[in-house]
Structure 1
């Protein structure tokens, strides 16, 4: 939805400012207020666009603790904590934030990322509430379009509540536009929050288009995908409906067979830079190349600084934009791929890095292979190393045992194959990217269906859905080798498959929590969490930020254990 421009947002912010005249001494010369601006078609479109923009500011911005998906990627099995980014000689608290969320033992109500996430979710929800509240007063807009826009913001609100309720459990369910000071909120039981999410999505789906004229707007497919995920997640809960898993499977299959989406022919095609509107993408956070809007940080946090750790790389060279090891892929993740048959390893990670600058005294020339990571599941003998060095004499070779962070005495090299599927060859900024952030895509829909069928007791259908994803990922001539049998399906295989397919995408903490595997797998495969050995049942929800408790005029209980 590239039409969501900075100009519509500026207009909205000006109106919101003019609506707060109580403490302003100057008159509003334009006579524009929220009350009259949002009644116009253009004003309401700006408000709806602002609801979409919260996706950028809350999940994609590179500022502060935001944009680092700490609550999605920290403290899980497929990423370790790496070294935090230094800015102006300081970590700006990211080192503390990330260690608390990764190792869990010292996690408390003062954690900055937790506080930012909680606050930002409710700011986004309040924008959606305003759009819902003002819809009835909009003129100069057809009823069908108004109904569609209302359904879009209700989807966004439901999505934000899903993110919140999984992170915090019971949360305030705020559905009205707040016009004045509110000093107390009650926490709504998570069972009721789930009922609200489902009601919102089911009420919205009928008013959403199957295909939008503007790519990036919410569609029926997005609503049904999210509904499938919500039913799947609720199916594990103590208050689950008896048919939650079968409903999730049916909804996911409905998206798959709708004819509106299709898996790309190869895995690498999904993330091709000029293919961001492909038919596999169901919903994504929109950025516009060259728009001047802040970009995302997704492509910059699963790597390491080449110029800092290796000779032959110029600082800020756009061939290898600045990468930071905020989330270091675990050795377990690398080991999940069979590189003889699965294309996703090479399409996800970059194993070869070429010099971008001459270093005459070391014999390094621009274009020389400088860093090489052999395939982790294939032999690489001393003879192989000698032959490789004969062909690439200035290359440094790092094998799997060294692919660990070089912090906290872990003994790693701090060098590893970077997650590269989000690489932006068009970037003009070494720090950020204007690639879209994919939130929902069809391959995950297949995996949601597979998990739902497995939990419903139908392993064959689960295997069929998984095989559709695996066959697409097969190397030429290897489709049959990628197929699995019904007897192979269990929750660990499904989680492994999600890791192979969705590495770097913002799902993992939710996946592990949903499947009741967060504690087991994190303590087994996350090096620092395993060493700390503090993760337990109370960490299945986050602490309520202390600032929230302090501001509330009544009783606002903290989550148990914090």
Structure 2
């Protein structure tokens, strides 16, 4: 969905933020248009709805979103280039964290824009059909953004009305109130959204139902979660891509497995890399930048130089051994589709004697490799003992098996930070996982195994189908979390998964020794940004989350 984002609309959205500073802005309005005028025409109101979608770009496919949703879990630890070890390893995580401030500000801007649209849509001049559809989109988006807020920060500020001007007070609202509104909004969305759209990236009825299934699961409404997930699986023509690896190909992004995605544009100009309002100083690097985050540093090794195919390695995050060990790569094709373990020589000038272009130059492996195994080999090996300590904490944080789902070999240059790769928000595979988890909780493990086997048969390497088959006896919550890791690693759901299941603490302690040293139970919610705490005048009522400073 191509979103031309109106700066005027974004400024109106930002006006609803709780004050972050006392600086006065000099307003300049060369057009002479007022908010009431813009929002009272169908054309003007469409810019509001488009802008409401744009806030997904702050989270999905962005470093800030990865840092807060995938990191600090059982699956990932710090690479050498990690900018936010307070999130990745909980090292003195406090309210001053920059990710908290950025995402809090943008999520509440999104909420205010949705509130503004919902309150004003009756005067936009739409036909009844168009009004109901755009209103449903705004209700859906408000539910979606409020879910991020309430899960991250708990019972914080809540409102469903437009904020005009600057507010200096904030409220503390119970989590249950947030979820009651989320369900009301999603009920409206499901009722009035169209079944399909020609404008890729807009919310539709199956999108709303898929997210509602996720919400039902989150709140323990397992019968509804199971039924709704199954409805998305069976009713709308979605289907799993036959080969898991094909999900991540640049020429196959809009496939039948994708329920909803942030549609980044091939023309990078439309992805706002130089938009001073959306991304000041290029802060979020415009389009999808997942391809930068998970790659190890390869370009200073013998036989290697930076190129487009191998990517620009920011070296931010490395997988935990727990994540790598979850896979039986001899049977499960998802391992090789998910991770890059071999780098081929692309620079004979620095290569060992006798190494040719295309020969293996570097191998990273989760196994222990002996000196006898590498004797006489020209390539370098970084094995389990080099990359990880005996307790499985990160050791060599520069070389490691690297996530490659988000790689983009279609980028125009080797140093291009932006990628036009869509950021998947909801895949059909998640519906199978939701249905399975709900069925386990409903004491139907046989039915749960049926859903899981659909995913595992898709992932099975030919000839190893029997190795991938699971039974009712295998169906436990721990197995589901393992399967979600194998299927969804890196897709910005893990922190939510562990919190939903009450496993965040246990899994970090058991599987991520780097984070376990600093993790405490109060980390189940994030610190409210300090600039927000400083700005409010009712500090006795609006207090910091416990144990943060």
TM-score (norm 2): 0.89
Matched ranges for 1:271-310 at <5 A: 271-292=248-269, 293=271, 294-308=286-300, 310=301
Of the candidates 308, 329, 336, which is equivalent to residue 339 of structure 1?
329
Alignment of 1:138-149 (within 5 A): 138-139=124-125, 141-149=126-134
Of 387, 396, 401, 1:403 maps to: 387
Question: Structure 1 residues 361 and 175, CA, compared in 2 at 3 Å: closer, same or farther?
Answer: closer
SS of residue matched to 1:104: coil
Residue 152 of structure 1 pairs with residue 131 of structure 2 = no
- Give the corresponding residue for 1:353: 343
1:489 aligns with 2:439: no
* C-alpha contact (below 8 Å) 2:322/2:511 kept by paired residues: yes
The answer to whether the 8 Å contact 1:154/1:201 transfers is yes
Change (3 A) 1:304 1:381: closer
Cα distance change, pair 369–551 in 1 and its aligned pair in 2 (3 A)? same
1:269: which partner in 2? 246
Per the alignment, in what secondary structure is the counterpart of residue 170 of structure 2? coil
Aligned partners of 1:528, 1:361: CA distance in 2, in Å?
34
2:78 paired residue number: 81
Q: How far off its partner does 1:13 sit? A: 5.0
Mapped partners of 2:54, 2:302: distance in 1: 40
Unpaired runs of 5+ in structure 1?
86-93, 236-243
The structural deviation recorded for 1:426 is 0.9
Distance in 1 of aligned mates of 2:393 and 2:185: 49
Q: CA–CA distance in 2 between the matches of 1:25 and 1:440?
A: 40
- 2:38 match: 37
The partner residue of 1:467 within 445, 450, 453 is 453
Q: Deviations over 1:311-332 (max 9, x none)?
A: 33334x2122212232211111
Aligned partners of 1:129, 1:201: CA distance in 2, in Å?
A: 15
8 Å contact from structure 1 (residues 15, 32) kept in 2? no
Aligned-pair Cα RMSD in Å: 2.6
**How far 1:133 moved relative to its partner?**
2.2
Q: 1:412 aligns with which of 382, 393, 396?
A: 396
Q: CA deviation at 1:227?
A: 0.9
Residue in 1 aligned with 2:66? 69
Q: Structure 1 pair 496/14, CA: closer, same or farther in 2 (3 Å)? A: closer
Q: Find the residue that maps to 2:50 and give its secondary structure.
A: helix
Q: State the partner residue of 1:314.
A: 305
Question: Which residue number in structure 2 is paired with residue 547 of structure 1?
Answer: 531
1:428-507 superposed matches below 5 A: 428-429=412-413, 430=415, 431-507=417-493
1:172 aligns with 2:157: yes
Measured after TM superposition, the shift of residue 102 of structure 1 is 2.8
Q: Where does the alignment leave 5 or more consecutive residues of structure 2 unmatched? A: 17-23, 272-285
Q: Which of these residues, 340, 361, 373, is aligned with residue 364 of structure 2?
A: 373
Between the aligned partners of 1:17 and 1:247, the Cα distance in structure 2 is 36
Q: CA deviation at 1:304?
A: 1.6
Distance 1:25 1:503 in 2: 45
Q: CA deviation at 1:503?
A: 1.0
Does structure 2 retain, via aligned residues, the 8 Å contact 1:67–1:297?
Answer: no
Distance 1:120 1:413, change over 3 A: closer
Match status 1:200 vs 2:191: no
1:415-465, Cα deviation, whole Å (9 max, x unpaired): 112111211121125323110100101001110111111111111111111
Return the alpha-carbon distance in structure 1 between the equivalents of residues 27 and 262 of structure 2: 39
Which residue of 2 is the match for residue 240 of structure 1?
Answer: none
Rounded Cα–Cα distance in structure 1 between residues aligned with 2:433 and 2:361: 38
Q: Is the 8 A contact 2:15 2:164 kept in 1?
A: no
Which residue of structure 1 aligns with residue 546 of structure 2? 560
Once the 2 structures are TM-superposed, how far is the Cα of residue 70 of structure 1 from its aligned partner?
Answer: 1.3
Find the aligned partners of 1:351 and 1:360 in 2 and give their Cα distance. 20
Answer yes or no: is the 8 Å Cα contact 1:446–1:469 preserved in 2: yes
Correspondent of 1:210 among 181, 195, 199:
195
1:138-185 CA-to-partner distances (Å, cap 9, x unmatched) read 11x322122111211211111111111111110211211111221111
2:186 corresponds to 1:185: no
Give the one of 230, 235, 238 matched to 1:258. 235
Report the CA distance between 1:127 and its aligned residue: 1.9
- Distance (whole Å) between structure 2 residues aligned to residue 183 and residue 501 of structure 1: 44
8 Å contact from structure 2 (residues 304, 361) kept in 1: no
Distance across 2 between alignment mates of 1:29 and 1:432: 32
Instruction: Return closer, same or farther for 1:318/1:360 CA change in 2, 3 Å cut-off.
Output: closer
- Alpha-carbon contact 2:210-2:232 (below 8 Å) kept: yes
Distance 1:381 1:476, change over 3 A: farther
Secondary structure of the residue aligned to 1:274 is helix
Partner of 2:320: 330
Give yes or no for contact 2:114–2:142 (8 Å, CA) kept in 1: yes
The counterpart of 2:522, out of the listed 532, 538, 553, is 538
TM-score, normalization by structure 1: 0.87
Partners of 1:506 and 1:23 in 2: how far apart? Answer: 36
- CA-to-aligned-CA distance 1:465-498 (integer Å, 9 cap, x gap): 1111111111113333311011111111101000
Contact 2:79 2:397 in 1 (8 A): no
Counterpart-to-counterpart distance in 2, 1:270 and 1:512 = 25
Deviation at 1:73, TM superposition (A): 1.6
Secondary structure of the residue aligned to 2:120 is helix
Structure 2 CA distance for partners of 1:449 and 1:291, relative to 1, 3 Å:
same
CA distance in 2, matches of 1:29, 1:169: 41
Contact 2:96 2:530 in 1 (8 A): yes
Name the SS of the counterpart of 1:206 in structure 2.
helix
How many pairs are equivalent?
520
| 1:239 corresponding residue in structure 2 | none
